[in-house]
């Protein structure tokens, strides 16, 4: 039984990693956001699911996949994604560790998106100069919107995901 569990866990981790990679690519194809550099953060849904329903190590793994996918879009995109995803993971993990009874996926989504775009901005500041500050309010506004959307989306998808997750266990 224990062995079966391990096999299941590895398979499930692979599934989430693949989903994260697919969503990262998909997002590159739909430039629905009029702000350059801003993205919907669909792959962040997978990270939030991994963090809240499975474990922190898996959330780290999923984030690593996300960063690698950004590498396909070039060095600058990778550095910005790494700064954003890293900060987002840290803030999300801390919030969920200490406040999981006080916040839901909605709060987690907003906080994660804010952290992501702030991290992105800090890296952009280092790479491109002080001009990016003018862009900060729009990027933060975008974080509030995309964080709300992704948080509520995961909340709505959760019953479905639970079905898939528990079947094998």
Q: How far is the CB of 142 from other proteins (least distance, A)?
A: 10
Q: Closer to other proteins at the Cβ: 12 or 135? A: 135
Q: How far is the CB of 5 from other proteins (least distance, A)?
A: 27
Choose the stretch contacting other proteins; rule: CB under 8 A; options: 15-23, 50-58, 64-72, 153-161: 153-161
Per-residue binding string, other proteins, 6-45, x by CB under 8 A, is ----------------------------xxxx--------
The candidate with the shortest Cα–Cα distance to 161, out of 60, 42, 53, 22, is 53
Cα atoms in the Cβ-side hemisphere of radius 13 Å centred on 53: 23
Residue 52 binds other proteins, judged by CB under 8 A: no
CA torsion 34-80-71-28 (nearest 10°) is -10
Residue 163 binds other proteins, judged by CB under 8 A: no
CB 110 within 8 A of CB 148: yes
Q: CB within 8 A of 42, min separation 6: which ones?
A: 23, 24, 26, 27, 150
First to last CA, the chain: 9
Which SS3 state, helix, strand or coil, does residue 155 take? helix
CA torsion 99-104-108-110 (nearest 10°) is -130
Scanning residues 75 to 134, which ones bind other proteins (CB under 8 A)? 76, 99, 101-107, 110-111, 114, 128-131, 133-134
Q: Closer to other proteins at the Cβ: 13 or 103? A: 103
Which SS3 state, helix, strand or coil, does residue 45 take? helix
Q: Closer to other proteins at the Cβ: 9 or 73? A: 73
Q: Closer to other proteins at the Cβ: 17 or 112? A: 112
Q: Rule CB under 8 A: which residues touch other proteins?
A: 34-37, 76, 99, 101-107, 110-111, 114, 128-131, 133-134, 136-137, 140-141, 143-144, 147-148, 155-156, 159
């Amino acid at each position: 039984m224990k062995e079966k569990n391990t096999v299941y866990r590895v398979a499930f981790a692979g599934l989430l990693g693949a989903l994260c990679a697919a969503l990262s690519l998909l997002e590159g194809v739909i430039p629905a956001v009029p702000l350059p550099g801003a993205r919907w953060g669909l792959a962040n849904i997978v990270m939030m699911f991994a963090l809240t329903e499975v474990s922190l190590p898996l959330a780290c793994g999923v984030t690593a996949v996300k960063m690698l996918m950004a590498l396909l879009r070039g060095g600058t995109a990778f550095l910005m994604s790494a700064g954003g995803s890293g900060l987002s993971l840290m803030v999300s993990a801390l919030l969920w560790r200490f406040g999981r009874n006080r916040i839901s996926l909605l709060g987690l989504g907003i906080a994660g998106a804010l952290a992501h775009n702030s991290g992105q901005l800090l890296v952009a500041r280092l790479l491109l100069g002080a001009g990016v500050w003018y862009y900060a309010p729009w990027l933060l506004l975008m974080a509030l919107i995309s964080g709300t959307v992704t948080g509520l989306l995961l909340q709505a998808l959760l019953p479905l995901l639970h079905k898939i997750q528990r079947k094998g266990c």
